[in-house]
Every structure is written in C-alpha cells, then in structure tokens.
Structure 1
Amino acid sequence: MDKDQQISDLLARVDKLAERVSILSDQVLKLTAENADLKERLSRYENPKNSRNSSIPPSKDENRPLKTKSLRKKSNKKPGGQHGRKGNTLQMTENPDHIIDYIPCYCGKCGIDLSKLPYELAGQRQVADIPPIKPVYTEHRIYRKQCACGHTTSGTYPAEALSRISYGPVVESLVGYLHTRQYLPFLRMKELFNDVLNLPVSEGGLHGIIDRLTKRALPVYEELRKRIAKSKVVGADETGAKVDGKKIWMWTWQNPTLTFITASPNRGFATIEKNFPEGFPNATLVSDCWKSHFKSGAWQHQICLAHLLRELNYFDDQYKSPWAKKCKKLLVSAIKINTQMESGDYLNHHPPRSSVESDMDLLLTEDIDAKHKEVVTFKK
C-alpha cells in the first residue's frame, strides 16, 4: 500500500472516530444530566420533607418513626425549676374548715398525768382534701290561689327547672368545660359523673346539655368572629380531621386574645369567604403557604416564621445551603429582637430592627447555586 493510500485510510478513520467521539460526548452530557436528576430525586428519600422540617402537615409524614427536629436550640439550663423563679407551692390557709387538737395526756418519759397542766402550741400541719361529693337536689314547688273574682293564679317555675327533673346551671357549666376544654368523650364524662360526682347522667342527657350550651354561645361565637375580622394581626391555619368518619377541615383564625374555629368539608377559599367575606382589611395575616390564605383580603400577608424555619432546616439537610443557614440565623435574630421590643419601638426608629432589615435586603441580593432549585424558589 502506497503512502497516499495509508494517509487516506487514516483520515477516514479519524473522521469515523471524531463522529464516534461526538456521539459519545452527547451521551455523556445526557447521562450526566440524568445522573444529576436522579441524585436530586434520591436525596429526597435520604432527607425527605416532613412536618418537622417543612410546611408538610403531620398527616403526610411517612408511616415510620422519625426523629423530631426541634427548632429550639440547646440551652445550658438544668432540668426542673430555674433559680429565681416564683414557686407555686401549696400554701396553708389562715381559716381551716376543721381543727383537730392533739394534746398529750401523760408524760412520754415517766408516764405521769399531764391533763391538768397548761399547754402551748408547738406546731401545726394542714391536709387539703375534697369531701365526699353528693349532688344537692332542690325541689321547686308552685302553688295556686283563687281570687274572689274567681280567677286562679299559679306561681311560675324558675328558668333552670326545665322539666320534672333537670340538671342545674353548675352541672351544665361543668359539662361544657369537660367537653370543650378537657376534651372528654361522652362515655368517659358519663363515667365521671356517675363514679365521682354520684350523679347519674346518660350520654343522651350530655348531648342535650351541649346542644343547649351551643345555642346560648352562638351570639358570643359571632362576636368573636367580628372582633377577629377587625384585628390588626390575625393568624390563620387549617388541619384535617374526621367527624362521623368523614374527612373535614378544621379552620382557625386568632389574634393575641381570641380564637375562632369552624369545621368545613372544604379546604379551599370558599370556607374563608363564608366566614370572613370582607377579609381582614386592618390586619397582617400570618399563615403558611397554602394558596387559599393568600387569596384572603388583608392589609398585608406574612408567612409564618415557624414554617419558614422548618423549610430552611430542610434546605440545610438537603443541600447544605450556606444561604439557608444565613437566612435561618437572621430570622432567629429577628425573633429575639422582637421579644425585647416595647410597643413604642414599632412606631419609631429602632436600630436593631433596622439592622435586621438591612441584612435581609442584602441577603436577598446574594446568588444561590442554580442546582438548589427549591432554595431559589424559596428566596423568590
């Protein structure tokens, strides 16, 4: 084979190899992209989002034990009561209901009679107890009289005497308290009344009492709604629950002193519109990122800092993101400053607050690794 032929063959071979290299390069780029995507998807299982590090509700957590990751930092305080705190020790009363005197009648050493000798108080102790509980039955009797004109006038029963035998206002108040504050089921409440209070009551009777209390509370319930609608700060949230085996949503709106709760089969904006049709024109509405809350009319919206901190925890676990660490540190600092501020500080220049605001503005200008897509979205 002459030299020209060899060169021609080599050039042809080089062309084929170049073509092969181009094909392999395309495959490498494609596989690299797929590998990066698979790594990101796999990392979601290695460091999954859950209710402890994100806004995901507990009901969506995987069915396996998870280590709780608290937002609280470790302190140097010892367990138990802290030095200098005001205690809540049970105190003796100045007016005991019963007094029992223990006066010695003979000498504990020689046995001589001491009954006629004078004595002095050497000490005292008190025992607080509850006497046997016995219901008090009050019988209301009405009488009638006939006037000379022939008309007969009868007395009237008081409002609490609803029927031949009924429960009084104290019993009804206790039922309401045990049901709405202590969350006792009807069966256990029935047992408590029968076994502890010696007062027979049926589950049907308890239902009737709750129904009557509910009707009386409706005006107060409506007043709560109106006051929260006029508040300057309102927190909103919703969570799933079951009523009669059916999935419903418990919605709550609250300000620093009042809470309004309603149950709804709907998790959407329709529930908000039904209860607060005019929104919260004077309020900063604090909520998680559920889209229905952002549809609520409000003076301004704020995302719950606890939810933001849990998201940042997830970004730290998932990506080891420096930006997420800085943001978390800044939010924690803002919370600490807020606890130290007086009411007047919000209306005037406050250097620590201004410093946090400046740091946040600066942080929002920093670049984030494009591979950390969730962090980029969070920043926006």
Structure 2
Amino acid sequence: MSKDSIRDKITKLQQESEAILKTKNLNADVRFFIQSMMSILEIVVAVLLEKKTRKNSSNSGLPPSKNNGSNGNRNKNSGQRANLGDQIQNTRNITNEEVTTPAECSNCGIDLSQEKSLKSETRKKIDILYEIITTVVTAKIVECPKCGEINKGPFPKDMNGPLQYGIGIKAMIINFSIVQMMSLERIQEYLKGLIGGLISQAIMLKYIAQLSSALAEWEKRNIEKLLRSPAIHCDETSVKVNKVNYWIHSYSAGDLTLQFVHANRGTEAINDIGIIPHYGGILVHDCWASYLTYNHVDHGLCGSHLLRELKFIEDSTLQKWATKMKKLLQAAAIKLGERTTTIPRENWI
C-alpha cells in the first residue's frame, strides 16, 4: 500500500466521520468514541508515514551524496546538450573541420560528386590530447682567461634545482586537491600515468601552501567585506580528512563565499575562524544550536532549510498546513525579491 493510497483512505474516513458527527441526535459517548478513534488513527498513520518517508537532500539537511542511489550532484543537462562554449580561458582549442560528399547514389549508382547539396547534417567529436612540454636549460660553465674566475650561465628564476614542475602541473594539483577534493594518493597516481614520474606529496602540499600564502591578503580583504555585510549566510558540512571527519564552515554574502576547514563543528571552530565573534549584523543559518549561542547578532532562519523541513512534513504526515506554509514562504521570497527599497531595521517585526 502506497503513501498516497493511505492518505486517500484516511481523507475518506475523515469526511465520513465528519458527516456522522454532524448528526444532531448522535449519542455523546458515540461522538466521543469516534473523535478519539480518528485522533488515534491520525497519530498512528503519521508515525507510519514518517517511518516510510526517507530523508534526502530535498526534504532535510542531508547532502546530495547521501541520497539513495545518488552519485552526488550531477549536471542535469545531458552530454548532447552541454554548452561547449563554457571552457577555461587557457584551454587551447584545435578544431578540425571536414566536409564529406556522397560519391554515388546508394540506389542507382549515378555519380553525385558534382551535384549541389540540398542540406547538410553536422556531427561533432570532442577529444582531449595531453601535451607534455619539457624545457631543458643547459648552463655552460666558462673559465675567465684573464683572472681564472669560473662563471656559469644563468638559469630562469623559476628553475632552482635539477627538476621542477611548471605552472600547468601546479594548477592541476591545486584543482584536483582543493576543487575536486581528491586525495594526494590519487593525484599522485593520476600524474604518474600522465607524465611518467612520481611527484611527492610534500611537493604537492608546498604548492597548496604557496597558493594559501599568496591569497592571504585577498582572504583578509574579503573577511572584512563579509563583516561589513548586513547579513551573512553560514552553514557547515562534513568532509573526510585522512579518513577522519572534519567540517567545512561556509560564510557567504552576495557573490562572496569563504570556506574554512576545522576539526570541530561547534563554537570552538566558530571562534577559531573568528568571523561571527566580530560580526554585528544578521546571521542566517539552519537553526544549529551553536549559532544561537551568539547573542550579539540578529538571527534569521535559512528559507531553503525551512522548505526542506516542510517538504518532509508534507511527505510523511497528513498535515496540510505544511503545504500552505511552503507556498506562503515562496510567495514572500518572490515579493521581497521584487522590492526596490530596503526596510529600515527598526521597522522589522
């Protein structure tokens, strides 16, 4: 029996019981019995439906990777309809174009090579060809014929030792580690198959540390920008670091998002990161208890989280108010998005 059929049966029973209860000459004990049984039935069915309704990313705070049968957040667009124009700026495109003409008629065999075409059909094939560029610099060593000084030809500034790796490999390591969240072991295996050599994890970590150092001033400026924002959206999600559970803490305002990794989820991590303790605006979150301990800020509940919780109530119970509340919140969001002026904070309810 499906959830929908259970709902239909309960709705029908409710309608029938309401019709019976409207009878004027109904005995008080019978009336009480019917009302009690319907209340008990609604509770039992609500518990049953809640157990049958599994939580996922659409009706709870679970990430998409926890969905049953899910392989994460995949692009809904098929490969046939992918936008081929959205590419990295430093990608070199080589386009080979070829036009084919039918040599002869497949039916009668007449020569068609000189005939005009009625129309054309185009198909594409996309492939990737990795190109390894090895730069070898040989510095000659020359003895001065006058004073006997030994002189060596100069090396480029970015070649400090017998072997180093170029900006392309560095960018690939950083992308795989930070963006794609691949382990260092997997990056090692991938690059070994690509360039034929093993890059040590220490070197890869050095590249990541160099990037972090280069972005230190950028991070400082954007933290200050966050602190000046009227509202900050914050959230946290778990991530494995060396098979140990860590937390990614996210802080965003407008098109700016900063993320920090910490071993803890609660106030210890929030204080170490240091944004919320120095903030004085509105903190928008999912009602996680740690955020509510900060009384020097105003609090707002995340609309997306509320909609997901309402969807779970809608899916797992017979309560119709959840559907109405969802529509109300969505309508309010649209209305607020259309406004052209800002409501003064002192006029908020």
State the TM-score bracket (shorter-chain normalisation).
0.5 to 0.7
Give the gaps of 5 or more residues in structure 2: 1-35, 71-75, 86-92
Matches of 1:182 and 1:345, distance apart in 2: 40
Q: Which residue among 122, 130, 152 is the counterpart of 1:154?
A: 152
Q: For the structure 1 residues 38 and 173, does the alpha-carbon distance in structure 2 shift closer, same or farther, using more than 3 Å as the test? A: same
Q: For the structure 1 residues 261 and 146, does the alpha-carbon distance in structure 2 shift closer, same or farther, using more than 3 Å as the test? A: same
Secondary structure of the structure 2 residue equivalent to 1:346: coil
Matches of 1:346 and 1:329, distance apart in 2: 23
- Identity score, percent: 20
CA drift of 1:347 comes to 5.8
Counterpart AA for 1:141: T
Equivalence for 2:266: 268
> Which moves more between the two structures, 143-152 or 321-330?
143-152
Secondary structure of the structure 2 residue equivalent to 1:235: strand
Secondary structure of the structure 1 residue equivalent to 2:240: strand
Q: Which residue among 196, 213, 220 is the counterpart of 1:200?
A: 196
Contact map agreement 2:59 2:311 (CA 8 A) in 1? yes
CA drift of 1:100 comes to 7.2
Alpha-carbon displacement from aligned partner over 1:244-284 (angstroms, at most 9, x marks no partner): 23232222222232332222222221111111256353543
Q: For the structure 1 residues 132 and 266, does the alpha-carbon distance in structure 2 shift closer, same or farther, using more than 3 Å as the test? A: closer
Matches of 1:110 and 1:42, distance apart in 2: 76
Equivalence for 2:240: 242
Contact map agreement 1:229 1:279 (CA 8 A) in 2? no
Secondary structure of the structure 1 residue equivalent to 2:279: strand
Counterpart AA for 1:286: V
Matches of 2:282 and 2:150, distance apart in 1: 64
1:303 aligns with 2:298: no
Correspondences of 1:252-267 after superposition (within 5 Å):
252-267=250-265
Equivalence for 1:218: 213
Secondary structure of the structure 2 residue equivalent to 1:163: coil
Contact map agreement 2:188 2:200 (CA 8 A) in 1? no
Matches of 1:39 and 1:100, distance apart in 2: 69
CA drift of 1:37 comes to 9.8
Equivalence for 1:140: 137
Equivalence for 2:7: none
Correspondences of 1:274-293 after superposition (within 5 Å):
274-276=272-274, 279=277, 281=279, 283-293=281-291
CA drift of 1:329 comes to 2.1
Matches of 1:313 and 1:47, distance apart in 2: 12
Give the gaps of 5 or more residues in structure 1: 1-32, 68-78, 349-353, 362-380
Contact map agreement 1:175 1:210 (CA 8 A) in 2? no
Matches of 1:87 and 1:132, distance apart in 2: 20
Counterpart AA for 1:239: T
Counterpart AA for 1:47: E
Q: For the structure 1 residues 328 and 280, does the alpha-carbon distance in structure 2 shift closer, same or farther, using more than 3 Å as the test? A: farther
Matches of 2:295 and 2:201, distance apart in 1: 40
Matches of 1:103 and 1:310, distance apart in 2: 56
Alignment coverage as a number of residue pairs: 284
Secondary structure of the structure 2 residue equivalent to 1:345: coil
Counterpart AA for 1:212: Y
Q: For the structure 1 residues 186 and 319, does the alpha-carbon distance in structure 2 shift closer, same or farther, using more than 3 Å as the test? A: closer
Q: For the structure 1 residues 139 and 269, does the alpha-carbon distance in structure 2 shift closer, same or farther, using more than 3 Å as the test? A: same
Alpha-carbon displacement from aligned partner over 1:84-105 (angstroms, at most 9, x marks no partner): xx99467xxxx97767798999
Contact map agreement 1:288 1:303 (CA 8 A) in 2? yes
Matches of 2:102 and 2:323, distance apart in 1: 73
Correspondences of 1:317-336 after superposition (within 5 Å):
320-321=318-319, 323-336=321-334
Alpha-carbon displacement from aligned partner over 1:12-34 (angstroms, at most 9, x marks no partner): xxxxxxxxxxxxxxxxxxxxx9x
Alpha-carbon displacement from aligned partner over 1:178-197 (angstroms, at most 9, x marks no partner): 332233444554454454x4
Matches of 1:252 and 1:287, distance apart in 2: 11
Correspondences of 1:1-380 after superposition (within 5 Å):
43-44=46-47, 46-48=49-51, 50-51=55-56, 57=62, 88=83, 132-145=129-142, 148=146, 151-195=149-193, 197=194, 199-202=195-198, 204-205=199-200, 208-220=203-215, 222-223=219-220, 224-276=222-274, 279=277, 281=279, 283-296=281-294, 299-316=297-314, 320-321=318-319, 323-339=321-337, 341=338, 344-346=340-342
Q: For the structure 1 residues 181 and 215, does the alpha-carbon distance in structure 2 shift closer, same or farther, using more than 3 Å as the test? A: same
> Which moves more between the two structures, 329-338 or 151-160?
151-160
Equivalence for 2:9: none
Matches of 2:102 and 2:301, distance apart in 1: 72
Alpha-carbon displacement from aligned partner over 1:169-228 (angstroms, at most 9, x marks no partner): 111112222332233444554454454x4x1132x5355224323333234253344443
Matches of 1:101 and 1:242, distance apart in 2: 51
Contact map agreement 1:237 1:288 (CA 8 A) in 2? yes
Look at both structures and tell me which one has the larger radius of gyration over its CA atoms.
Answer: 1
Matches of 1:129 and 1:184, distance apart in 2: 25
Structure with the larger RCO, 1 or 2 (CA within 8 Å, 6+ apart): 2
Matches of 1:101 and 1:133, distance apart in 2: 26
Matches of 1:328 and 1:273, distance apart in 2: 34
Matches of 2:170 and 2:262, distance apart in 1: 27
Counterpart AA for 2:208: L
Equivalence for 1:378: none
Alpha-carbon displacement from aligned partner over 1:47-101 (angstroms, at most 9, x marks no partner): 1584557655469x9xx9699xxxxxxxxxxx989xxxx99467xxxx9776779
Secondary structure of the structure 2 residue equivalent to 1:214: helix
RMSD of aligned alpha carbons? 5.0
Q: For the structure 1 residues 271 and 88, does the alpha-carbon distance in structure 2 shift closer, same or farther, using more than 3 Å as the test? A: closer
Counterpart AA for 2:212: A
CA drift of 1:136 comes to 1.7
